[in-house]
Structure 1
Amino acid sequence: MHKVMENIFGWSFKLLKSWHVNETFASYFSLFFDLVLLYFLAYGIYFGFRFILVRLMIIVARRTKTRFDDLLVTNKTAKYIAYLIPLLFVYKSVPIIFRNFDYWEPIFGKLVKMYIVLLVLWIIRSIFNALRDYLKLIPRYSDKPIDSYIQVIMIVLWTFGITAIFLSLFNLSFKTLLGTFGAISAIVILIFRDTILGFVASIQVSVNDMVRIGDWITMDKFGADGDVIEINLATVKVRNFDNTTTTIPTYSLISDSFRNWRGMLGSDGRRIKRHILIKPSSIRFLKPEELFELKKIQLVSSYIDQRQSDINKYNANRNIDKSLLINGRNMTNFGLFRKYITQYLQNYPGLNKDMLLLCRQLQPTPHGIPLEIYTFSSDKRFENYEYIMADIFDHIFASVGYFGLEIYEMHADAIDN
C-alpha cells in the first residue's frame, strides 16, 4: 500500500527531475500538484463511500423492524463515517507528500490527526443521538432524562478527545498534562460550575424520581406552570399552559421548592378545596313553620323529619320550655344548609365517592364564617375539573338564599377604611 501511494504522489517530482528542472522548483511544484491530486482523490473516496454507506444503511433500515437503524440514517451517521475513510487516506498520504518538507510534515500530520479525533467524536455523538431518539420511543424510557446521561458521556469523551489533541499538538506526556490540569483545577471548576451542579442535580433527579418528562410541575420562582418537555444536563424545559416555554436550571430542582402534580394525576381524584364566607348575622335557629317550608327541599326532607323527631323527644323528656328557641336543642339554618350541601355532593355524578367528602365549617374570620367544600373530582383533566368545581359552587351560591343565609360582601366604606 505504501509503495502504491509513493507511485501515485511521487511521479511528478521524478518527471520534473528527468527534465532537469531545478530541484527546489520541482519540490514545490510537486507538492502543489500532489496536494491538488490528494484533494480530488480524497473527495472521490468520500463520495464513493458515502454513496455506498448511505444506500446500504437505507436498505438495512427498510428491511428491519427496529427503528434504531432508521434513526441512524436520520442522524447522518453514515455521512460522518464516510468522512473517516478519506481522512485516514489523507493521514497516510501526508508523510509521502511532505517527504521533502521535514518542517511541514509533522504540522500537517498533527492537524489531520486532530480532525480524525474530532470526527470520531462526531460519529459517536450521532450514534448516541440516534440511541436517545430510539429510547424516547419506548414507553418505559420516554419519561427518563436520557439527554442528561448522554451529555455526561459526551462531556467525558470530549474531555478525553481534547486531551488527546493537546498531547499530540504539543508533544506532551499524559503525566505533564495532568499536572497542568491540577494547577488550573480551580479555574476549570469555576468555568464548569453550572455543568458540575447540573450533573449532580440530574443524577439526584433521576435516582429520586423527582421529575419525569411529561410531568406537570409548578415553580413560582421561574413562572413555570406546565408540562416538562425536556430534561438535560443544564436546564429543564417546561411548556406552560399558555404555550410559552420556561427554562429552569436543573440544579434549581434540588435547591428550590417546586410542586409536581404527578401524584394527583396518578390518583383516583383531584382535590376540590374551596370555601365561601357566610355572614354571621344571617345564622339563626329555625322556627317550626320554616322547617315545614324547608321540607319541600327533597335532599333534606327525610333528614328534617328524623332530626326533628329526635330533638322533640329530647326536649320533651327534659321538659324544655320552647317559648324561646334558644332553649333545649334546635336546628339552625347553617347546620341544615351544611347537611344539604353534603347530600348534594354525594349525589353529584362528577365526584369520587370513595374518597373523602366533606362540607365543613372553618375558624371564623373578620370577613365571615368559611364554609369549605373538601372533596375530589373523578375527572382530573384541567378543563373538566374547573367545570365541575364551578358547577358545584354555582349551585351553592344559588341555594344559600333558600336557607335564609347571606354570603359576606365587603362594602365600599369598609374598603375605604
Structure 2
Amino acid sequence: MTDLNNFIANQLTHLGISPENTSWSVRLTIIVCIILVTYIATKIFRHLVMPTIQKITSRTKATWDDYLFNHKMLKSFSRMIPPILLFFQLPLAFSDSPVLLDFLQKACSIYIVITTLMLINCFLNSLYEISIEHEALRNRPLKGIYQMINLIAIGIGFILIISILINENAATILAGLGASAAVLMLIFKDSILGLVAGVQLSANDMLRPGDWITVSKYGADGYVIEVTLTTVKVQNFDKTITTIPPYILVSDSFQNWRGMRESGGRRIKRWINIDMNTIHFCKEDEIKYFVTKGWITEEEAQSQQPTVNLHIFRNYIQQYLAGHPRTNKDMMIMVRQLQPTAEGLPLEIYCFTDTTEWLEYEQIQGDIFNHILAILPQFGLRIFQRPAGNDLTTITTTK
C-alpha cells in the first residue's frame, strides 16, 4: 500500500503538483481510479457479458435458461458488482483512516445485502414464470410458497443489516429473537398459516388457479384467479372479487367444480310437480292413442295389467333423454318419482349434458324441459300450479 502511494505521489510530483499537496492528491487520484474501475467493470458486464449470455441461452433448446438468465436477472446481478468492487478497493484509499474505512465498508456491505435480496426476488419471480410454463406445475398454487421464501430471505437480510450496523454476529441476534418468537409468530400469523395451507392445497391438489369454486360462507362463487401467501382471489360471475385466506379453505369446506369440468358432462337435476288428480289408469282409447304414437307396444297394450298414464310418461321421458343428441350417454340417465308433497308428485329428471359450458348447458336444459312441459298434456297429465288471480277470476266468471 505504501509503495502504491509513493508511486502515485512521485507521478503527481512530476506533473507539477507541490509535495505539500500530494497527500490529498494521492487519495483523490485513488478514489477516482476506484470509481473508474467500478464503472468500467459494470459497463463491461452490462454491454458485453449480458448480451453474450443471452445469445447463448437463446440458442439452447431448453426454455428454463431463458428465464433464469433473462434481462431482469442479469441486471439484478449487475447491481451487485459496484458494492463488491468498492468493498475490496476502499482500503487502497482509506487505509490511514480506519474509522472512515469501517463506515464506508459497512455501507457497501448493507448495499450488497440489499442487492442480494433484489436478486433473490427476481430469481423467485423467474422460478414462478418457469412453473407457469411447466405442464405439471402450471396449476399448482406455488406463488404463496415463493412469497414465503422471499419473506424469509427479507427477514434474514434485515438481521444481517442489523448485525453489520451494531458489529454483532447474526447468530447472536437470531438467538435473541428466539426469546421473542411468540411475538414474531403473532406478527406473521397469517403468513405462517398461509404457507402451511398453501403446501396442503398444493400437495393434495385441492385448488388450482382457474378452478371454479363455491364458498357460500364467504360469498365466493367463481374462478380462482390467484393464490398468494395470504389470500386466494376469486372472481365471481358478477365480476366482483372475493378474497379468502388460504387456511380457511383447508380448515373449512368449499366446493370445487373441477371434477365436473374434467368429466365432460354437467348434471341436470330438476323436477316438475305433477297434479296427482290427473294420474289415472289409461282407458282403451288412450291406450290406442299411445300405440299409434309408438309410446307403448302392442304387447303392452294387450297386457291384462292396468296401465297408468304416469308410467307411460316416465318411460317416454327416459327414452327421450337416452336419444337426445346433447345428453351424455356414458353417464346416468334416470327419471324417478320423489315423495309426494302438498304441491303434487315431484317427477325428477336426472341426466348429464355432453358439455360443461354454462351457456350451452342452460340451452340444453331449457330445450329438454320445454319439450317435457309441451308433451305432458298428451298423456292426460297436468302440472301442479297454485291458482293465480286470473285463475280465480276465470272461475268466478264461469259461475
TM-score in terms of structure 1 length: 0.82
Picking from 169, 182, 188, the partner of 2:184 is 188
Superimposed CA distance per residue, residues 156-206 of structure 1 (whole angstroms, 9 cap, x where no aligned partner): 333332222222221223453133212322221111000000011011111
Partner in structure 2 of residue 383 of structure 1: 359
- CA distance in 1: counterparts of 2:368 and 2:324, whole angstroms: 8
* Superposition pairs of residues 365-376 of structure 1, within 5 angstroms: 365-376=341-352
Partner in structure 1 of residue 263 of structure 2: 267
Superimposed CA distance per residue, residues 233-276 of structure 1 (whole angstroms, 9 cap, x where no aligned partner): 22223344455543322112112221111222222532211111
Aligned residue identity for 2:296: S
Partner in structure 1 of residue 169 of structure 2: 173
Range that drifts further, 76-85 or 43-52: 43-52
Picking from 40, 60, 64, the partner of 2:60 is 64
Offset of 1:41 from its aligned partner?
4.5
Q: How many residue pairs end up in the alignment? A: 390
- CA distance in 2: counterparts of 1:87 and 1:6, whole angstroms: 27
Partner in structure 1 of residue 339 of structure 2: 363
Answering whether residue 148 of structure 2 is matched by residue 155 of structure 1, we say: no
Aligned residue identity for 2:153: L
Partner in structure 1 of residue 20 of structure 2: 20
8 Å CA contact 2:209–2:224 kept in 1: the answer is yes
Partner in structure 1 of residue 283 of structure 2: 287
Offset of 1:360 from its aligned partner?
0.8
SS in 1 for 2:263: coil
Superimposed CA distance per residue, residues 335-383 of structure 1 (whole angstroms, 9 cap, x where no aligned partner): 2211111111111122222322111111122222211101122222222
Answering whether residue 97 of structure 2 is matched by residue 104 of structure 1, we say: no
| Gap change, CA 1:297 and 1:105, over 3 Å in 2 | same
Partner in structure 2 of residue 345 of structure 1: 321
Range that drifts further, 242-251 or 60-69: 242-251
Picking from 81, 99, 117, the partner of 1:121 is 117
Aligned residue identity for 1:20: E
Aligned residue identity for 2:353: S
Picking from 306, 313, 320, the partner of 2:299 is 306
8 Å CA contact 1:9–1:96 kept in 2: the answer is no
Aligned residue identity for 1:411: P
Answering whether residue 82 of structure 2 is matched by residue 86 of structure 1, we say: yes
Identity of aligned residues (%): 37
Superimposed CA distance per residue, residues 210-251 of structure 1 (whole angstroms, 9 cap, x where no aligned partner): 112332222223333333333232222334445554332211
Partner in structure 2 of residue 405 of structure 1: 381
TM-score in terms of structure 2 length: 0.86
SS in 2 for 1:374: strand
Answering whether residue 387 of structure 2 is matched by residue 392 of structure 1, we say: no
- CA distance in 2: counterparts of 1:343 and 1:63, whole angstroms: 61
- CA distance in 1: counterparts of 2:100 and 2:147, whole angstroms: 37
- CA distance in 2: counterparts of 1:142 and 1:10, whole angstroms: 66
Superimposed CA distance per residue, residues 321-347 of structure 1 (whole angstroms, 9 cap, x where no aligned partner): xxxxxxxxx322222211111111111
Aligned residue identity for 1:350: R
- CA distance in 1: counterparts of 2:375 and 2:106, whole angstroms: 86
Superimposed CA distance per residue, residues 94-124 of structure 1 (whole angstroms, 9 cap, x where no aligned partner): 3333344433322221121011022122223
- CA distance in 2: counterparts of 1:395 and 1:172, whole angstroms: 82
Partner in structure 2 of residue 322 of structure 1: none
Aligned residue identity for 1:202: G
Range that drifts further, 96-105 or 145-154: 96-105
Q: Which runs of 5+ in 1 are unaligned?
A: 315-329
Aligned residue identity for 1:307: E
